[in-house]
Structure 1
Amino acid sequence: MTEERLPLAELLAKAGDGDFLRSVAEAVVQLLMETDVDGLIGAGRYERSGERATYRNGYRDRALDTRLGSLQLRIPKLRQGSYFPPFLESRRTSEKALSAVIQEAWIGGVSTRRVDELVQAMGLSGISKSTVSKLCKDIDERVNAFLDRPLAGDWPYLWLDATYLKQREGGRIVSVAAIIAVAANIDGRREIVGLHIGPSEAETFWATFLKSLVRRGLHGVKLVISDAHEGLKAAIRR
């Protein structure tokens, strides 16, 4: 179920900016655990409910090793009984689903049903529309802050690549291009400097993307590494 949603996550992982991906993954997993525990307790935090079965009792720290890095989790504890996240038992399947949840939530066209399917693939219970909305809002804020950050210093080497994804648009599924820019500075440090979603790899799309990098401070480029796509080559020359 999750395989078709992995290309962007894999592209980001190969780009070398593990801190960003790891922080987003930690935030998503934490939110999903909190929601899962609310269902187990029968009430949300500070909520009065006749269906409440027990109360929260702090957290215990636990590391989860993934291809995105080691996620530092705070697993909720209960006054009565215990809580153990099911995704810690089937890590490989859960990790693929986690990557898909992040991608599904950010790319757009998110439906409660689709995210709910991916969350259940992690072994968690279904989630509400409000939780999907909160999850997407958190991811959007983190991604936008990361992608809009100023770029300081010289970046002599720039890699450009793209992958195609399926997105819900106007009640139908369409193919969109996800383009990514990775740059290396004069110290050899490599970072994701840009990521954007558009209808295709046309020259105007690439040109707009590259101009946005320049506006954020990208300069000192000596070499651009990419495939031989005509629209991309034309945009680079411009």
Structure 2
Amino acid sequence: MSYLTTELLTSLLWGGTAANEFLRSKIEEGVNAVLKAELAGFLGYEKRSSAGWHTGNSRNGSYQRTIVTSYGKITVDVPRDRNGEFQSPLLPERKQRVDSLETTIIQLYQRGVTTRQIAELIEQMYGHYYTPATISKITADVSEQVAQFHSRPVAKRYAVIFCDAMYVNLRRDSVAKEAIHVLLGITPDGHKEVLDYAILPSESALNYADMLKSLKKRGLEQVLLFVSDGLVGLSDAVQSEFPRAKHQSCWVHLMRAVSRLVRPSDRKAVLDALKRVYQQEDAALARQELSAFLNSYRRKYKRLHKLFQNEASLFSFYEFPKSIQQTIYTSNLIENNNKGFRHKTKLKEQFPNEDSLERFACMVYCDYNRRFSGKAHRDFRKHIRNYWRCSRIEFSACTIK
């Protein structure tokens, strides 16, 4: 057992100083010893050694600095040399707190913790109180990052934009679930990114239209296809902003809706028959299969046909190259993104205010865009180019080369 361990145990067992205070004092002693050794190494001789005579530089006293550590404040005697050249890498200039503490504060702030809560947590964890104003100053760049995310330029053209919303608990006057609307795009080169998000009380087609208007101001000009669930009015809303774009309803959501309308004993047979509709080779065969499906269950389940009234949005994916149809006939891509977001919020019962949710969402989506910035979605680059050429769509400034 080392002397340090023995001394620590003695302190704890016999009612001496608290463990944190004991460790703080030892850190203070250790840092001061290191600083003296660093100066000796810098000058090339020990204190009072004759080897230092006529070397052109010598010791010149010291000055005190207070440093905040994980165990509290320590006071260090920073040695000086006559020429003013000595600088310890152990103590960066003009810093009173360790970088790890600032990083912790910023990460807590990004995850939606309020400045007052952070100040209380830091005091408990580090034994040093930072006022909410100080925390706000440290984290000011996080709020700027949120504003930049919502105003950053986007590409002119996207092959596909997925639209979806998820609900999270948010406190205003009281706690209620509110919708985070998300737009996720795939570029002609196959790169995917979260284009924007908006926090609003409930999901609405008009909310997505407003988000698209904002994206148009940020540079978006053309979209080939929008993919979404069965939100009423969404197809009309997105096409009001991009009249030439197609719309695809998610077949997974359609399957879920059908499942709710049939008896459990019939569910497997009905869903197997419905799968054959969107697994056909082309749209004409799919329409025939859908007609046969509805006819076979018309009497038993009369409400099924209402789910398939908007036929224009059911088979848009067939107009695109076969190699990418599996990506665009459902909204699974954005659903997986939302699932990842929910996983990150598992430990939070609620967000204390809209700003905290904004920061948290920005952190998650910036990280998503960073992770996928260098990855191209399969087959888009090659086959979207051919699709544009064959369909004679005017994309003269297309980014595909």
TM-score by length of 2: 0.33
Q: Which residue of 98, 113, 116 corresponds with 1:112?
A: 116
What runs of 5+ residues in structure 2 fail to find an aligned partner? 1-65, 79-86, 241-401
- Aligned partner of residue 238 in structure 2, secondary structure: helix
- Aligned partner of residue 215 in structure 2, secondary structure: helix
| Aligned residues of 1:101 and 1:119 also touching (Cα < 8 A) | no
Q: Which residue of 219, 222, 247 corresponds with 1:220?
A: 222
Which aligned pairs between 1:121-140 and structure 2 lie closer than 5 A? 127-140=130-143
- How many Å apart are 1:212 and its aligned residue? 1.1
- Aligned partner of residue 210 in structure 2, secondary structure: helix
- How many Å apart are 1:234 and its aligned residue? 4.3
1:102 equivalent in alignment to 2:110: yes
Mapped partners of 1:159, 1:220: distance in 2: 14
Equivalent residue for 1:54? 76
| Aligned residues of 1:42 and 1:53 also touching (Cα < 8 A) | no
Equivalent residue for 1:167? 170
Which aligned pairs between 1:74-89 and structure 2 lie closer than 5 A? 85=100
Mapped partners of 1:104, 1:216: distance in 2: 27
- 1:201 and 1:41, CA in 2 relative to 1: closer, same or farther beyond 3 A? closer
Equivalent residue for 2:50? none
| Aligned residues of 2:162 and 2:183 also touching (Cα < 8 A) | yes
| Aligned residues of 2:109 and 2:115 also touching (Cα < 8 A) | no
- 1:146 and 1:52, CA in 2 relative to 1: closer, same or farther beyond 3 A? same
Equivalent residue for 1:27? none
Equivalent residue for 2:195? 193
- How many Å apart are 1:202 and its aligned residue? 1.9
- Aligned partner of residue 229 in structure 1, secondary structure: coil
| Aligned residues of 1:41 and 1:55 also touching (Cα < 8 A) | no
- How many Å apart are 1:201 and its aligned residue? 0.7
Q: Which amino acid in the other structure matches residue 175 of structure 2?
A: I
- 1:156 and 1:165, CA in 2 relative to 1: closer, same or farther beyond 3 A? same
1:229 equivalent in alignment to 2:251: no
Mapped partners of 2:186, 2:167: distance in 1: 24
Aligned residue pairs, count: 162
- Aligned partner of residue 167 in structure 1, secondary structure: strand
- How many Å apart are 1:167 and its aligned residue? 2.6
- 1:165 and 1:103, CA in 2 relative to 1: closer, same or farther beyond 3 A? farther
- How many Å apart are 1:176 and its aligned residue? 2.1
| Aligned residues of 2:68 and 2:74 also touching (Cα < 8 A) | no
Q: Which amino acid in the other structure matches residue 214 of structure 2?
A: S
Q: Which amino acid in the other structure matches residue 40 of structure 1?
A: T
Deviation track 1:139-161 (CA, whole Å, cap 9, x = no partner) reads 12112112211223311211222
- How many Å apart are 1:130 and its aligned residue? 1.8
Which structure carries more strand by proportion? 1
Q: Which amino acid in the other structure matches residue 153 of structure 2?
A: P
Equivalent residue for 1:6? none
Q: Which amino acid in the other structure matches residue 232 of structure 2?
A: E
Mapped partners of 2:123, 2:166: distance in 1: 26
- How many Å apart are 1:199 and its aligned residue? 1.5
- 1:153 and 1:236, CA in 2 relative to 1: closer, same or farther beyond 3 A? closer
- Aligned partner of residue 69 in structure 2, secondary structure: helix
- Aligned partner of residue 221 in structure 1, secondary structure: strand
Mapped partners of 1:179, 1:201: distance in 2: 7
Equivalent residue for 1:176? 178
Structure of larger gyration radius: 2
How large is the Cα RMSD of the aligned pairs? 4.3
Mapped partners of 2:88, 2:202: distance in 1: 48
Q: Which amino acid in the other structure matches residue 203 of structure 1?
A: A
Which aligned pairs between 1:5-84 and structure 2 lie closer than 5 A? 39-40=68-69, 53-54=75-76
